[in-house]
Chains A and B, each alone.
Chain A
Amino acid sequence: MQSFNYLAPHSQNELCQVLCNTAGKIIAGGTDMLPQMRNLKQTPSTLIDISHISDLRYIQESEDEVLIGALTTWSDILESPLIQKTAPALAQAASLVGAPMTRNRGTIGGNLGNASPAADSLPPLLTLDAIVHLNSQSGQRQVPLRNFLTGPGTTDLKADEYIQQVSYKKVALPFGNVFNKLGPRQGMTISIASVAVLLALDANGKITLARIALGAVAPTAVRCPDAEAFLLGKEPSTELWQEAAHQVRKAIAPIDDVRGTQEYRHHIAGILTRRALQTAYLSLQE
């Protein structure tokens, strides 16, 4: 490994000071950062290891919100009854991140900071209208996730800031929240495309809430506002899902890579969306 100056603050205060005084790169679980340092995509001269800041690892709820500390691991998330209840798609996505070893180390804050277009946590968080809480010496800032993600691997995080937590408003029960992903193999796989949907119906069975987000099909994970607007007020049906899937295909801009072609991504984005909507709908019938 290349050499670097190593700092390991043990509290958020310490971290704020470090970030204020030093231009450094933050490392949390290391599951993304270390491979990137290995292939020289990251060459930090100072590495700020935040893994010892114990009060950044939590899943909490207030009356109307759920708060997830930046150092919360995927295993924490997928095992959390609170997340399973309030954000089942996020729990599902967490269970499909890499393999157990990655899930035991990889953190939600790291995933947000790394901002891979294919990150599995992002579509579910987007359907929850998640807010990213940033902190620095000069104060706190809350940024909606969809604004936080600015491009492949880039975010709105400032040099002196760190991700403190991510929060989302609880959605009134009942709702359906489903994550669906397809990778080039079954185990330990990176998405060719992924989708999360959130769906709620009124007493008459009309759609009152529809949120759709996709991963790995655009420079960032994206919401599909047109498809969502189209669904509102309508009655669920196979044809409706089909039409929503069609809208979704128009909203994305996939590329070719080693995992899949642009054309194939276009094709499956719609199918995964349609299926996720149907699964979410069925979960509401239970």
Chain B
Amino acid sequence: MQRIQVSLKVNGKKYRLETPPNRTLLEVLREDLGLTGAKDGCSSGECGACTVLLDGRAVNSCLVLIGSADGHSIETVEGLQKAGMPHPLQKAFVEKGAVQCGFCTPGMLMAAKALLDQNPKPDEEQIRTALAGNLCRCTGYTKIIDAVQEAAKELRYE
């Protein structure tokens, strides 16, 4: 079976790996790198549980062919904490009760991070637009919106 060489930078760390080509970025993150934060909820880009950042943009890692990720920079939920300090989004999700079963949470956090990295002061509509691809069945989203607003405030040092 064909194997391809892939170089990835994941959460700042460089990886070089060899893999069959018929795999997704999500599978490689979870199975080869042991980064199981991104979840497989549908394998079809319909739920957003696998959201990671690719070159700073939110993507469904279940729809990124591993060969296509070659040479790119990836951020996952495991990279959100810096020097042991939680990201304001993580803190806000915890404090605002935006987490229930938690399965959508890593993807939701990464989609929210992509938003705040680009737009430090999103209004509610922009938050909804940014998170439209991340399904949550538990929370009704209300507290997720609160949490993103709260984190944005903290990031702006308000």
Contacts and interface: CB of A to CB of B under 8 A. Distances in A.
**Touch A–B, Cβ below 8 Å:** yes
A3 B129 CA distance: 36
Interface in A91-107: 98-102, 104-105
Contacts, number: 92
Contacts of A98: 45, 133
Contact of A3 (B1, B58, B60, B134): B1
A100 B132 contact: yes
Contacts of B111: 100-101
B65 A105 contact: no
Given A34-B24, A35-B45, 20 more contacts: A2-B22, A5-B2, A6-B21, A8-B67, A29-B63, A30-B64, A34-B44, A34-B45, A47-B21, A49-B65, A52-B70, A52-B71, A98-B45, A100-B58, A101-B133, A105-B60, A105-B63, A186-B132, A187-B133, A188-B133
Contact of B133 (A4, A6, A27, A102): A102
Interface in B35-54: 43-46, 48, 51, 54
A188 B132 contact: yes
Interface string B1-43: 1101000000000000000111110000000000000000001
Given A99-B132, A99-B133, A101-B58, A27 B22 contact: no
A186 B125 CA distance: 12
B22 A4 contact: yes
B57 interface: yes
B8 to A, nearest CB: 14
Interface in A5-40: 5-6, 8, 27, 29-31, 34-35, 38
